[in-house]
Amino acid sequence: MTSIRVAAAPLVLLLLSSCVLGPDHKAPQISLPAKFAEGGNTASNGDIAKNAWWTAFNDTRLNGYANNGLQQNLDVLQALERINQAQANVVTAGAGALPSLDLSSSADRSGSKDIGGNAGSSSSSSPRTSVSGGLTASWFLDLFGLYRRSKEAALANLDAAYASVDTARLTLLSDVTDAYISARYYQELIRISQDNLKSRRETLNLTKLQLEAGAASRLDVVQAEGLVNSTLAGIPGLEASFRTQAHRVATLLALPAGTLVTELQRGGHQPVARFNPQAGVPADLVRNRPDIRASERALAAAVANIGVAEAQLYPSITLGGSITPSYTKSSRAEAGLLGWSFGPQLSLPIFDGGSLRANLSSSESSAREAYLAWKQTVLGAVEEVENALAALSRDGRTVAAYRQTVKSYQEALELSTASYRDGASSLLDVLDAQRQVSTAQESLAAAVQQMAEDYVALNVAMGGGYAVGDQTKPTRMAAISKK
């Protein structure tokens, strides 16, 4: 019977060690429509993480900036460092459940000598050498899953760190393309202003000739000069805005601000996407949006922390032992001593003023808050896609209408200028036509910019493109497989 009891004791400990308190995390659920109201598509997009949507602009310079930014943007690199921190936290979280062993040692030589000249004084002693050491071992028996839940929370935070890198890459793509689109927009406004300046100077010269011929007044000349000068006054502000956006692109690529100004000044057209993206279905966002994945992993960590808090309510047992040898030698004698101790230590919370229960309640509330945050992130993502679809589907009509407007006003300007030369109309008609052409051209440029930005917003809202050239994915999958 004795042998049976001895064999059963480790078995009981083994069964107890498999007990893990707290709820197990389950994938959160949310009710989503079968399709986007503005999209009309019921087919899934699948995984679009490697979809380089910015190539639809057919702009090699933009392609280069996007690819370089994914590799060298400082926000992305900082997010990658946070992965290293999270990996270290996984080791730290699980280390408490493993046996620990500490070794210490010390040695000293001591003695005393009478320096007063009395050689036979009893205050003198012969040199003595002492050596001591210690070997201490301890093992926390994780009977209720305190450290296992802690490691589970750390692994969830590691997954969230990987998702945060993807979020940083997606944000980088959005910022780079938006800044590039804005830089090209201001270049287009500068070009429009310079063309209008040329046209208005021609009108001013024509008006001066008319004045000399007696067909125009000084008032006409002054009005024409005012329009030329107002056009000149607007160009420096546009040039400053262009440089601001060029500086922004350079900074996003981890370059000094002025690095790309000359390169971007060499010219380029306003980016226009050459195809329309497929929005997929709302359920795609849960898989494709890295911020949603990060939020879900934060929820998993919060659920695991409930188990940590609950395990703290129960007894804890630590097995410990130590061996402490010591040795002393002098001219008169030598001695050695070996000390040892071994035994379990039981810690049982009895009265703590309710702090452990309050900690558990706080952890449960944090998990509920994390679920609500995840739900809010999902619904916000659906809203972003719907807004981008609504805008993009209407941008084309706006651009087409402004193109016709520019064409009509340019024709009106040509007719009014010809009529003014013939003396059949006044200078005011020409100046009004020039203003209308300038306004229409600027509105067209703004509409083209808005259409490009809405295209970017839709692709970013869908969660596409962040994994292009991503080197962290094998590490990510390896980390998740350890869970």
Looking at residue 234, its pLDDT comes to 92
Cα–Cα dist 355/358, whole Å: 5
pLDDT at 8 over 50: no
CA dist 38 and 461 (Å) reads 14
Confidence grade of residue 9 (pLDDT, cut at 50, 70, 90): very low
pLDDT digits 0-9 by tens, 95-139: 888 888 888 888 888 777 766 655 555 566 678 888 888 888 888
Cα(71)–Cα(291) distance, integer angstroms? 20
Express each pLDDT in 49-91 by its tens digit. 999 999 999 999 999 999 999 999 999 999 999 999 999 999 9
Q: Mean pLDDT for the chain?
A: 87
Mean pLDDT of 228-237: 93
Torsion of CA 394, 398, 401, 403, to 10 degrees: -130
- 10 Å Cβ neighbour count for 295? 22
User: What SS3 string covers 39-61?
Assistant: CCCCCCCCCCCCCCHHHHHCCHH
Tell me what percent of the residues of the chain surpass a pLDDT of 90: 55
pLDDT for 474? 41
Looking at residue 229, its pLDDT comes to 93
Could you tell me the pLDDT band of residue 477, with boundaries at 50, 70 and 90?
very low
Measured CA distances, 440 to 330, 394, 402, 435, 449 (Å): 104, 18, 7, 8, 14
* Structure confidence at residue 24 (pLDDT): 92
User: What pTM was estimated for this model as a whole?
Assistant: 0.85
Q: Please give the average per-residue pLDDT across 200-218, as a whole number.
A: 85
Q: pLDDT value at position 483?
A: 44
* pLDDT of amino acid 15: 44
281 has pLDDT over 80 = yes
Q: What is the phi-psi region of residue 254: left when phi exceeds 0, alpha when psi lies from -120 to 50, beta otherwise?
A: left
Distances (CA, A) of 45 to 36, 53, 291, 463: 13, 13, 18, 11
Query: In this predicted structure, what is the pLDDT of residue 119?
Result: 52
Is the Cα torsion angle 114, 117, 122, 128 positive or negative in sign? positive
Confirm if 286 and 379 have CB atoms less than 8 A apart.
no
**pLDDT in the model for residue 124:** 63
- Average pLDDT on 463-473 reads 79
The pLDDT score that the predictor gives to residue 481 is 43
More confident residue, 284 or 268: 284
Q: What are phi and psi of 344, to 5 degrees?
A: -85, 155
| Residues 445, 446, 447: CA angle, nearest 5 degrees | 90
Among 95, 104, 138, which residue's Cα sits nearest to residue 320?
138
Angstrom distances, CA of residue 82 to CA of 72, 118, 266, 302: 16, 70, 39, 19
Q: What is the pLDDT of residues 373-412, one digit of tens each?
A: 999 999 999 999 999 999 998 999 999 999 999 999 999 9
Question: Domain 19-100+130-327+336-481 is of which CATH architecture?
Answer: Up-down Bundle (1.20)
More confident residue, 8 or 304: 304
Tens of pLDDT along 284-324?
A: 999 999 999 999 999 999 999 999 999 989 998 888 888 88
The mean pLDDT of 159-176, rounded to a whole number, is 96
Tally of CB atoms within 10 A around 58? 12
Q: Is residue 13 helix, strand or coil?
A: helix
Which long-range contacts (C-beta less than 8 Å, at least 24 apart) are formed by 335-338? none
Q: How big is the CA angle at 303 (ends 298 and 304), to the nearest 5 degrees?
A: 95
Q: How far apart are CA 187 and CA 196, in angstroms?
A: 14
Extents of the domains making up the chain: 19-100+130-327+336-481
Q: For residue 402, give the amino acid letter.
A: Y
